[in-house]
Amino acid sequence: MAHTIVNQPQRPLPRLIISQDLSGVGQVSMGVALPIVATLNVEPAILPTALLSAHTAFPGSTFTDLSASMPATLAHWQALGLNPAGVYLGYLGSAALNVWRKWLPQFAASSVCLVDPVMGDGGKLYRGFDDAYVTGMRALAQQATIITPNITESALLLDQPLPQGPIQLATLRAMTTALASKFNAAVVLTGVPLPEGDLGTAGLTTTDAEPFILRQPRLPGTYFGTGDIFASVLAAGLVRGLQLRPLCTAAMDFIDGAIKRTLMAGTDPRFGVQYAAGLPALQQFFTDKEATNDGPQL
Ligand code: PXL
């Protein structure tokens, strides 16, 4: 008994570069990606792009740009021969976006390059972003193997007006297909308000002819960090070789549980959602799926 090796992996874990901001308060971006990815048995290599006192929905939040230190870190990682299985980029900031536009080609050998084009929500850009940022993000997304925009970001990437009100399924399918062909990447469109009060996710791999659409009843309120949680689950699952559609279902269920706990707690949604209680089940789902997977499917 004394030498029993407990629980799961005793093998090398897939390595994932995660680069996005570190916001002190609000449970977004790096603050949620790191615990989620580590719990899902992926080895994170983290590169913060900026340090904020809190995410930008808190008026007066501070912003310290860290992009000046990024090239030296990336050069060191090259010297170490990190060879990550994947790269996951989220909220960057203008200067960091330009660093990644230059450096991402150095990681072309990684099989997964997930760009979450974090720019805005609810029809508006996040504080501090402008048209030039949108243009830069379009260029960065060209280098991705998978992009995970919300509906606001999808409209910005496609340079088309934001559809108003609930999104019709035909519109959602058309936008998903247009994104896949414009960016030559797999697409997961998250957090989509659908008719009948549902919330949808649309996904399309580069080998599928038609997008899939997943839906569930939409819970009341606007929550922060849920897109980042979704992208973290996807990035971890893809480098572990899980397939896109079951991953999207698992991410939706995980977030649904997190929102329900938060609603019951009655806290200010700007402080993020209670996701951690759902991690053991998600970890088990990954272990079960991995036993039967037949390779990454983008
Ligand atoms: O959850 C997206 C996000 C990430 N990082 C920062 C943000 C936001 C959304 O408001 O402000 C700094």
Q: What is the pTM of this model?
A: 0.96
How far is ligand 1, taken at its centre, from the CA of residue 79, in Å? 31
- For residues 28-50, b (16+ Cβ closer than 10 Å) or e, as one string? bbbbbbebbbebbbbebeebbbb
3-state secondary structure of 280: helix
C-alpha Rg value of the chain to the nearest Å: 18
Residue 111 within any structural domain of the chain = yes
Q: Is 118 touching ligand 1 by the criterion CB < 6 Å?
A: yes
Q: Is 226 touching ligand 1 by the criterion CB < 6 Å?
A: no
C-beta of residue 217 within 8 angstroms of C-beta of residue 199: yes
* Predicted local confidence at residue 292, as pLDDT: 74
Residue 1 within any structural domain of the chain = no
- Write the pLDDT tens digit of every residue in 8-60: 676 899 999 999 999 999 999 999 999 999 999 999 999 999 999 999 999 99
- Write the pLDDT tens digit of every residue in 132-157: 999 999 999 999 999 999 999 999 99
Amino acid at 268: D
Closest CA to ligand 1's atom 8: 55
Q: Is 55 touching ligand 1 by the criterion CB < 6 Å?
A: yes
- Write the CATH number for 140: 3.40.1190.20
Question: Which residues of the chain are modeled with pLDDT < 70?
Answer: 1-6, 8, 10, 293-297
Residue 103 within any structural domain of the chain = yes
Closest CA to ligand 1's atom 6: 55
Q: How far is CA 94 from CA 52, 127, 139, 246, in A?
A: 14, 12, 13, 34
* Predicted local confidence at residue 113, as pLDDT: 98
* Predicted local confidence at residue 135, as pLDDT: 98
Which domain covers residue 197, as residue numbers?
15-119+127-292
Tokens 């079951």 found at = 246
- Domain count within the chain: 1
